Amino acid sequence: MRGVLRQYASTGSALLLGTAGLTIFTGVWALAAANLNNEVLLPSPLSVVYTYAELLTDGSLLGDVRASIVRVFAGFFIASSIAVPLALILAYSRVLRGLVMPLIALIRPIPPIAWIPLAILWMGLGDPPSYFITSIAAFFPIFLNSFAGGTSLQQEHVNAARSLGAGPVALLGTVMLPSALPMIVTGLRIGLGQAWMAVVTAELIAAQSGLGYMIQISRLSLETSRVLVGMTVIGLLGAVMIGALGVLERRVIVPWNNPR
Q: Delimit the domains of the chain by residue range.
A: 1-37, 42-257
Q: Cα–Cα distance between 3 and 105 in angstroms, integer?
A: 46
What class is the 42-257 domain? mainly alpha
Residue 45 CB partners (closer than 8 Å, separation 6+) = 26, 29, 30, 33
Q: Cα–Cα distance between 190 and 173 in angstroms, integer?
A: 23
Position 79 confidence tier, pLDDT thresholds 50, 70, 90:
very high
Per-residue pLDDT tens digits for 4-28: 445 545 566 777 887 888 889 888 9
Per-residue pLDDT tens digits for 27-68: 898 898 888 888 888 888 888 889 888 888 888 888 888 988
To the nearest whole percent, how much of the chain has pLDDT over 90?
10
Position 169 confidence tier, pLDDT thresholds 50, 70, 90:
low
